[in-house]
Structure 1
Amino acid sequence: MQSLSVTIDMNSGFCFGVVYAIQMAEDILEEKGYLYCLGDIVHNDVEVERLQQKGLQIIDHRQLRELKNEAVLIRAHGEPPETYQIALENKLTLIDASCPVVLKLQNRIKTSFDKDANIFIYGKHGHAEVMGLLGQTNNKATVFENTDELFRHQLPSKITLYSQTTKSTDNFYNIKSLLEEKGVEVEANDTICRQVSNRDKELRKFALNFDKIIFVSGTKSSNGKVLYQVCKSTNHNTYFVSKVEELKPEWFQKNDKVGICGATSTPMWLMEEVRDALLMMQI
């Protein structure tokens, strides 16, 4: 008889943008046997390793400049205009798996930039998506990660506010309110992906139903770090693992109800492996 009851959160796992990018990659790998991808296709090391074994070759922007007459996958995070220019010059075929939500945001930022708006972007410095957004403004927009950083800037009387698609909607509208309290006129553009932003509410409900929570995510995933903290704040018996080998029997007691959940960059097959390992575990 198994001593643990284990349930996977079926709302966890890849968002549709990541599903789309990985499906495109797998189709081409099956046909050609190899494919270049600009940056990690997803911020999950074990999923990247799985695809690399199928022939996926991860390159950076320096390597892109040296590559010619090849096909290159653009991942869901999107890319700045410079990448497309390099592709033209090097006769590269771009397989564009940019998420539609990201592309919509890029287009709106470009429109605002063309109107000489003062653009502020709530997002993580250096994140792939944010670099693509900045590129729409010739890197002239202001990126900030929190309100402390925002208010260190000399703010104009009117700003056009955008956000990385995976940020919290509550935080976005709180930033808008704080700016308005300081007398700044704000044109707020909410293009946050609801499939991602709603995960925090869904996870809070999920985490309350179990004795222990195993949160599965890659260590590079910004979304994973945020959602792990959501689970941890709801259920203090929450443990972070990036692979099955990191599970520890001492975390559990006999008859524990265990919930497994993950980031938008966590593959379902990995959560299933974690479930199977837990069911085999001797407590």
Structure 2
Amino acid sequence: MEVTIDSNSGYCFGVEFAIQMAEDEMLDGNTLYCLGDIVHNDMEVKRLHNKGLRIISRDDLSRITNCKVLIRAHGEPPETYQTALNNNIELIDASCPVVLKLQNRVKNAYDAMREKKGQIVIYGQPGHAEVIGLTGQTGGEAIIILKDEDLDKIDFTRSVTLFSQTTKSTKGFYRIKALIEERLHASNHHLQTIEFNANDSICRQVSNREPQLQKFSKEQDVIIFVSSKKSSNGKALYSVCKAENERSYFIANEDEIQTEWFDNAQKVGICGATSTPMWLMKNVSDAIKNIGESCVTS
């Protein structure tokens, strides 16, 4: 049985950068606090916990003082920086450059739209850390949409500027864009003054993985997708695999592998989310190879 790890899977630049910063800070055995899970993968969080990384909440941040806190790749709203200043907290800012650039774009667009009484709309997952950071650039006034029914939150008689969470599906973004255009036209077909600016702010390092995964999935008899169940990116990318290869299976680690998945399989592909560490995919690969060897010798 041939087992192949997808070379395009694993950490995106932002996550890899944040983890490297955390490990550098803990080289001397010092404890480092991190505001929220550094990555949406329980196995990696556990590994870094053993090195001294401690996860805290925003409520915790308001209570601690005189320490170091890592800001993960997702970025943070302005109030986080103010809290750190008030509590004499040194921030180790590992915000992804792509996210920081988007935060700046959202802030500038919000300032411009306020003068026109327009609306900032963000296509993203409510409560997601990145979305919280983006909404913070608008003083909490941005409208978050994910499902079709969320469009009812928008006032279609006022101008709209649309952005996307960086890790959302490109296909999903352009579908939402088209729906907003339809609703705006239906509400204002006799008006020429309603503006609609749609900004495709999806990270291409993430979005390009969809066509790459489609190709990879077609080439394999079985796909093992490795990701934490809490990763929204993982769920989205797994659905891409499943659409191309019915024999696709979602696991968190090698303990969840079932031997019967590989019946009559010659080629097995392993892939993962942008939050899946390469060491974890290698563990899965080794476990599957052991299954293949036991089948041959039995």
TM-score by length of structure 2 reads: 0.91
How big is each residue's C-alpha offset from its partner over 1:207-232, in whole Å with a ceiling of 9 and x where there is no partner?
A: 00011000000111000011111101
Q: Does residue 49 of structure 1 match 2:59? A: no
Q: Report deviation, 1:253.
A: 1.7
- In structure 1, runs of 5+ residues without a counterpart are none
* SS in structure 2 at match of 1:207: helix
Q: Distance in 2 between matches of 1:83 and 1:15?
A: 24
User: Which residue of 222, 226, 231 maps to 1:221?
Assistant: 231
Q: Which of 230, 242, 247 is matched with 1:237 structurally?
A: 247
Q: 1:254 to 1:170 in 2, by over 3 A?
A: closer
Bigger relative contact order, structure 1 or 2 (CA pairs below 8 A, ≥6 apart): 1
Please name the residue that 1:20 is paired with: 17
Structure whose CA Rg is larger: 2
Q: How many angstroms apart in 1 are the aligned matches of 2:230 and 2:80?
A: 23
Task: For 1:31, give the aligned amino acid.
Answer: D
Greater displacement, 139-148 / 86-95: 139-148
Deviation at 1:170, TM superposition (A): 2.3
Aligned equivalents of 1:125, 1:172: Cα separation in 2: 15
Question: What is the alpha-carbon distance in structure 2 between the residues aligned to residue 135 and residue 181 of structure 1?
Answer: 28
Residues in 1 aligned to 2:127 and 2:16: alpha-carbon distance in whole angstroms: 23
Q: Secondary structure at the match of 1:213?
A: strand
How far 1:254 moved relative to its partner? 4.5
Amino acid at match of 1:166: T
In 2: Cα distance, 1:245 partner to 1:169 partner? 33
Distance in 2, Cα, partners of 1:60 & 1:81 = 16
* Partner amino acid, structure 1, of 2:58: H
Question: Which residue matches 1:80?
Answer: 77
**Cα deviation per residue 1:174-223 (whole Å; 9 max; x = unaligned)?**
22222223316410122210000111111000000011000000111000
The corresponding residue for 1:172 is 173
Residues 118 and 156, structure 1, Cα contact 8 Å, conserved in 2: no
| Equivalences for residues 72-221 of structure 1 within 5 A | 72-115=69-112, 116=114, 117-151=118-152, 153-182=154-183, 183=185, 185-221=195-231
Partner of 2:189: none
Distance, in Å, in 2 between the alignment partners of 1:23 and 1:236 is: 36
Contact 2:272 2:281 (8 Å CA) reproduced? yes
Q: Is the 8 A contact 1:212 1:238 kept in 2?
A: yes
Partner Cα distance (1:254, 1:170) in 2: 34
Structure 2, unpaired ranges of 5+: 186-193
* Length-normalised TM-score, structure 1: 0.96
Q: What is the CA-CA distance between 1:255 and the residue it aligns to?
A: 4.8
Q: How far is 1:113 from its partner?
A: 1.3
Q: In the alignment, is the contact (CA less than 8 A) between 2:66 and 2:89 conserved in 1?
A: yes
Query: Does 2:279 correspond to 1:278?
Result: no
Shift of 1:246: 0.4
CA contact (8 A) 2:121 2:145 kept: yes
Aligned CA distance change for structure 1 residues 142 and 264 (closer, same or farther; 3 Å): same
Which one-letter code corresponds to 2:287 in the other structure?
A
* AA in 2 matched with 1:167: K
Does structure 2 conserve the Cα–Cα contact (< 8 Å) formed by 1:176 and 1:186?
A: no
Q: Cα offset for 1:26? A: 0.6
In the other structure, the counterpart of 2:191 is none
Alpha-carbon distance in 2 for matches of 1:260, 1:32: 34
Distance 1:252 1:208, change over 3 A: same
Work out the CA distance in 2 between the residues paired with 1:166 and 1:273. Answer: 26
Shift of 1:132: 0.5
Question: Which 4+ stretches in 1 moved above 6 angstroms?
Answer: none
Conservation of the 8 A alpha-carbon contact between 1:34 and 1:56: yes
Aligned identity (percent) is: 58
CA contact under 8 A between 2:143 and 2:154: conserved in structure 1? no
- In the other structure, the counterpart of 1:9 is 6
Deviation at residue 146 of structure 1 after TM alignment:
2.2
